[in-house]
């Protein structure tokens, strides 16, 4: 997989770039490609029916309704966000979601941390708290959207929502769970894992 390391990127620009990459991948003009970035604070609403109800008080933070599955989430500084634009043959979105989770679990393992899946809730968990989220969309067998790994964000952004229908206190980060790491170093580990796909 080819990786585009975009740095700090406004959510709207990342969303537009994903759609361009999806069209190029469908047309066979590019290989599987991941856009890796960090966002300014933003809330996104997935297709789940009650997603807007779980957006409690966004304040002045921008809100985007997007194509991905799932509920409401927050993105912001201190997260590593990766959007794999990937042709799935055969089409198996559940397997793709599990691979996104496995990627984050592997990155955590490389930091000496045992993160896990929760069979009831998508994402990656550490010490009973969620540190990584997944959500995808698919068009003509090409995926977009992807994963967000909380490295060292200000977790107060989650307090204005019921993230994925959960109590915000269940959301955490590597730093909050006592893992010594920096966002840029974790991003490099995510990129390394993506290029191995």
| pLDDT tens per residue across span 94-115 | 999 999 999 999 999 999 999 9
Distance CA 70, CA 106 (A): 23
Distance CA 150, CA 78 (A): 7
Helices (H), the chain: 11-26, 93-110, 183-195
119 Cβ neighbours under 8 A, 6+ residues apart: none
**Which pair of structure tokens corresponds to residue 100?**
């996104």
With cut-offs at 50, 70 and 90, classify the pLDDT of residue 129. very high
With cut-offs at 50, 70 and 90, classify the pLDDT of residue 184. very high
Mean pLDDT of the region 37-60: 86
Total domains, the chain: 1
Mean pLDDT of the region 28-57: 90
**Which pair of structure tokens corresponds to residue 150?**
């909380």
Residue 151: give the domain boundaries. 2-195
Structure confidence at residue 33 (pLDDT): 98
Specify the CATH number for the domain of residue 80: 3.30.930.10
Q: Which residues are known catalytic residues? A: 164
């Amino acid at each position: 997989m080819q990786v585009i390391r975009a740095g700090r990127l406004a959510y709207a620009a990342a969303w537009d770039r994903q759609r361009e990459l999806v069209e190029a991948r469908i047309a066979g003009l590019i290989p599987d490609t991941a856009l890796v970035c960090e966002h300014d604070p933003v809330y996104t609403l997935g297709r789940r029916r009650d997603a807007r109800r779980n957006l409690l008080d966004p304040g002045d933070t921008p809100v985007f309704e997007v194509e991905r599955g799932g509920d409401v989430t927050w993105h912001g500084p201190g997260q590593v966000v990766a959007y794999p634009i990937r042709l799935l043959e055969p089409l198996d979105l559940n397997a793709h979601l599990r691979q996104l989770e496995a990627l984050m679990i592997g990155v955590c393992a490389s930091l000496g941390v045992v993160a896990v899946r929760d069979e009831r809730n998508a994402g990656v968990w550490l010490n009973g708290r969620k540190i990584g989220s997944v959500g995808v969309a698919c068009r003509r067998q090409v995926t977009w959207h992807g994963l967000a790994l909380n490295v060292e964000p200000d977790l107060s952004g989650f307090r204005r929502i019921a993230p994925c229908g959960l109590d915000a206190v269940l959301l955490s980060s590597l730093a909050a769970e006592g893992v010594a790491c920096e966002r840029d170093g974790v991003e490099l580990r995510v990129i390394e894992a993506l290029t191995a796909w």
